[in-house]
């Protein structure tokens, strides 16, 4: 079965990371911004990274082209059209509102544009704004206060950006407010950070999921804790290769995570930058890492298990996965 035919939830995708070079060119034209090149292929070729920060620098610069409600709408509409072709039934989409409001973009333009595109898509979508670590914990708390009047637009909060030097515990006050407001909580930890950072996030943030989490594997006690609490990890294989969190796809620790009994889902992170959407990540796991169709099916089921969607919707999507997995393979030569 092709990976795109497997119904799946995508739980770790940054909407700003779905900004394809073609849309960069269009937005630059729209706003009269000069680019070093207007050739999308050249822009794409320049998306090469040595670590998380080298990626973030490019990602934030390109995201400065997002200025109006229309821009945010067009970005989300393009992602969702591609996600639909990838078999995504449910998308929990991160955004970085602080990066936009600090440039003077009204929060309404961000939320209204993204939500309008989401409402027009057959994919079930919820938004998860993230606190930017590089702006610090006070800014996070202040940002959350400005987001809360727009509570109908989002279901949870996350934590992203520069991990090294910005440990999670400082964000506990913002996460406490989020919890009191009935928001879901997840955080990027253990991508470049350590197993101790993962433990600290579990101790202090009240998170329901862990984004990336790769370095938990360096400490058996942290792994056991994640396993025993059933805390899901949103893993992003192609991202991990592009940002050199792993040396090569062949060495990706996802099989080790499964063997350790961790709850894992497969996600694209920033697909316009890392060479593939979520179906491409599933395909890479099958073709390069050697996962079987049964393992990919289990990962698709796990993606719905870890979703913040309503239980009845999750049940229906899981039934769809089981039906897709048991359907006879279509013959490529059949008409």
Which residues are known to be catalytic? Answer: 191
On whether the CB atoms of residues 304 and 51 are closer than 8 A, the answer is no
Q: Which does 20 bind (CB under 5 to 8 A by kind): ligand HPA, Zn ion, none?
A: none
Catalogue the E-assigned strands of the chain: 8-14, 88-95, 124-132, 156-160, 184-189, 209-212, 233-235, 264-266
Q: Which does 161 bind (CB under 5 to 8 A by kind): ligand HPA, Zn ion, none?
A: ligand HPA
Q: Which partner from the list Zn ion, ligand HPA, none does 115 bind, CB cut-off 5 to 8 Å by kind?
A: none
Please report whether residue 269 would count as binding Zn ion according to CB under 5 A.
yes
Nearest-approach distance from CB 161 to Zn ion, in angstroms: 9
Under the binding rule (CB under 5 A), the answer on residue 16 touching Zn ion is: no
Question: Nearer to ligand HPA by C-beta: 52 or 86?
Answer: 52
What is the rounded distance in angstroms from the CA atom of residue 45 to the CA atom of residue 113?
A: 29
Residue partners of 242: CB distance under 8 A and separation at least 6? 49, 55, 273, 274, 275
Q: Which of 188, 215, 314, 318 binds ligand HPA (CB under 6 A)?
A: 188
Quick check: 191 binds ligand HPA (CB under 6 A)? yes
Residue nearest to ligand HPA (CB): 160
Give me the least distance between CB of 277 and ligand HPA, in Å please: 15
Give how many residues touch ligand HPA by CB under 6 A. Answer: 11
Interface map 200-239 toward ligand HPA (x if CB under 6 A): ---------------------------------------x
The residue (of 115 and 234) whose beta carbon lies closer to ligand HPA is: 234
Q: Which residue is nearest to Zn ion (CB)?
A: 269
Nearest alpha carbon to residue 232 among 301, 297, 306: 306
Smaller CB separation from Zn ion, 216 or 325: 216
Tell me which of Zn ion, ligand HPA, none is bound by residue 192, counting a contact when its beta carbon lies within the kind-specific cut-off of 5 to 8 angstroms: none
Q: How far apart (Å, rounded) are the C-alpha atoms in residues 252 and 237?
A: 7
User: Residue 191 touches which of Zn ion, ligand HPA, none (CB < 5 to 8 A by kind)?
Assistant: ligand HPA
Calpha distance 207→16 (Å, rounded): 23
96 binds Zn ion (CB under 5 A): no
Q: Which residues contact 108 (CB under 8 A, 6 or more apart)?
A: 69, 150
CB of 206 to Zn ion, least distance (A): 19
Question: How many CB atoms lie under 10 A from the CB of residue 72?
Answer: 25
Piece of the chain touching Zn ion by CB under 5 A; list 27-35, 84-92, 135-143, 261-269: 261-269
Give the Å distances, CA to CA, from 61 to 57, 93, 103. 6, 20, 12
Reduced to 3 states (helix: H, G, I; strand: E, B; else coil), residue 260 is coil
Whether residue 121 contacts residue 80, with contact meaning beta carbons closer than 8 Å, is answered with yes
d(CA 97, CA 78): 19
Instruction: Name the residue nearer to Zn ion (CB basis): 118 or 189.
Output: 189
- String of contacts with ligand HPA for each residue 265-294, x by CB under 6 A: ----xx------------------------
Q: Which residues contact 263 (CB under 8 A, 6 or more apart)?
A: 226, 230, 231, 232, 233, 302, 305, 306
In the sheet with 124-132, reading across from the earlier edge strand, the strands are: 8-14, 88-95, 124-132, 156-160, 184-189, 209-212, 233-235, 264-266
Q: Which of 15, 23, 43, 52 binds ligand HPA (CB under 6 A)?
A: 52
As given in the structure block, the two tokens for residue 329 are 């393979």
Q: List the one residue out of 183, 179, 225 whose CA is nearest residue 92.
A: 183
Nearer to ligand HPA, 52 or 75 (CB): 52
- Stretch 54-73 residues interacting with ligand HPA (CB under 6 A): 59
Q: Which residues bind Zn ion (CB under 5 A)?
A: 269
Q: Which residues bind ligand HPA (CB under 6 A)?
A: 14, 17, 52, 59, 160-161, 188, 191, 239, 269-270
């Amino acid at each position: 079965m092709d990976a795109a035919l497997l119904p799946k939830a995508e739980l770790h995708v940054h909407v700003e990371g779905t900004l394809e070079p073609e849309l960069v060119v269009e937005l630059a034209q729209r706003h009269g911004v000069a680019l070093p090149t207007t050739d999308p292929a050249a822009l794409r070729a320049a998306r090469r990274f040595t670590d998380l920060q080298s990626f973030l620098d490019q990602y934030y610069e390109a995201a400065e082209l997002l200025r109006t409600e229309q821009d945010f709408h067009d970005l989300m509409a393009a992602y969702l059209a591609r996600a639909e072709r990838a078999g995504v039934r449910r998308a929990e989409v991160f955004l970085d509102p602080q990066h936009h409001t600090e440039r003077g973009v009204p929060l309404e333009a961000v939320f209204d544009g993204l939500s309008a595109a989401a409402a027009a898509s057959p994919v079930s979508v919820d938004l998860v704004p993230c606190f930017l670590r590089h702006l610090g914990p006070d800014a996070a708390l202040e940002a959350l206060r400005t987001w809360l009047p727009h509570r109908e637009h989002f279901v949870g909060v996350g934590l992203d950006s520069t991990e090294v030097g910005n440990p999670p515990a400082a964000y506990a006050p913002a996460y406490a407010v989020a919890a009191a407001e009935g928001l879901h909580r997840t955080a990027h930890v253990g991508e470049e950070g350590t197993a101790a950072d993962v433990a600290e996030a579990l101790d202090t943030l009240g998170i329901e999921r862990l984004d990336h989490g790769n370095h938990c594997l360096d400490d058996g006690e942290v792994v056991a804790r994640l396993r025993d609490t059933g805390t899901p990890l949103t893993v992003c294989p192609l991202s991990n290769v592009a940002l050199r969190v792993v040396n090569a796809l062949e060495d990706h620790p996802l099989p080790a995570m499964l063997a350790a009994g961790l709850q894992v889902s497969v996600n694209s992170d920033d697909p316009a930058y890392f060479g593939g959407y979520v179906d491409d990540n599933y395909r890479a796991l099958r073709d390069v890492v050697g996962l079987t169709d049964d393992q990919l099916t289990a990962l698709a089921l796990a993606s719905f298990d870890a979703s913040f969607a309503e239980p009845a919707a999750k049940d229906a999507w899981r039934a769809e996965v089981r039906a897709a997995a048991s359907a006879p393979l279509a013959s490529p030569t059949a008409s």
